[in-house]
Chain A
Amino acid sequence: SQKIEQNSEALNIQEGKTATLTCNYTNYSPAYLQWYRQDPGRGPVFLLLIRENEKEKRKERLKVTFDTTLKQSLFHITASQPADSATYLCAPTNSGYALNFGKGTSLLVTP
């Protein structure tokens, strides 16, 4: 069955450093991989989507990579800020199929 794994332990980093979160998947070949941010008590909010034929995608301080050989995506936040503290979810997906998420990684950025 399909499996999505994200770092289960919370990631604590200092303000200004780069945060790197990992998403691994098994038993399927997604055409896209999405990343979402979730704040406490709120629904997830879409951040970025990367296609299977794209190695890397950037949006402001965010960078996502997608390695279909390793079946892995890395999500980077550069120059992190306390406001980046949240839980980040990945969702490898194919159009028209069920949208399943990893359990998420909690990021805490301290001043």
Chain B
Amino acid sequence: NAGVTQTPKFQVLKTGQSMTLQCAQDMNHNSMYWYRQDPGMGLRLIYYSASEGTTDKGEVPNGYNVSRLNKREFSLRLESAAPSQTSVYFCASSEAKGINTEAFFGQGTRLTVV
């Protein structure tokens, strides 16, 4: 089983460039999440989607947009990349019904903005 797949795994951008991080899950989960992880800061929630067709801001949404394209896919877009967005980005999904709140994570995207 693939689980949660993120692309790309590594990316270098110049300041001001745009890009979209892709995430897909094959577990028929309702909820999907985007996090960034920086040294000493832990996992910080950027945006999440509780179900297909809905998205909500997390702790650090500024500079990002998201699209829940369908139940499987949840993309994260940087419209104008800044060096402060250099980070490791993780996508996750969860069934998020009743006790089934366990999250499954992708392998991460290491993004460097120069």
Which residues does A use to contact B, with CB under 8 Å?
A: 32, 34, 36, 41-46, 49, 51, 89, 91, 93-104
Q: How large is the interface on B (under 10, 10 to 19, 20 to 34, 35 or more residues)?
A: 20 to 34
Q: Establish whether residues B96 and A96, one from each chain, have CB atoms under 8 Å apart when the complex forms.
A: yes
Q: Which residue of B lies closest to A51 (CB)?
A: B99
- Chain A interface helix/strand/loop/mixed: loop
B residues near A42, Cβ cutoff 8 Å: 107-108
Q: Establish whether residues B106 and A43, one from each chain, have CB atoms under 8 Å apart when the complex forms.
A: yes
Which residues does B use to contact A, with CB under 8 Å?
A: 4, 31, 33, 35, 40-43, 45, 48, 50, 56, 58-59, 90, 92, 94, 96-108
Cα of A32 to Cα of B98 in the assembled complex, Å: 10
Known: A34-B102, A49-B99. A99 touches B94 (CB 8 A): yes
Cα of A34 to Cα of B4 in the assembled complex, Å: 19
A residues near B108, Cβ cutoff 8 Å: 41-43
Q: Establish whether residues A99 and B33, one from each chain, have CB atoms under 8 Å apart when the complex forms.
A: yes
Cα of A46 to Cα of B102 in the assembled complex, Å: 7
Q: Establish whether residues B104 and A46, one from each chain, have CB atoms under 8 Å apart when the complex forms.
A: yes
Q: Establish whether residues A98 and B58, one from each chain, have CB atoms under 8 Å apart when the complex forms.
A: yes
Q: Establish whether residues A96 and B104, one from each chain, have CB atoms under 8 Å apart when the complex forms.
A: no
Known: A41-B108, A43-B90. A100 touches B45 (CB 8 A): yes
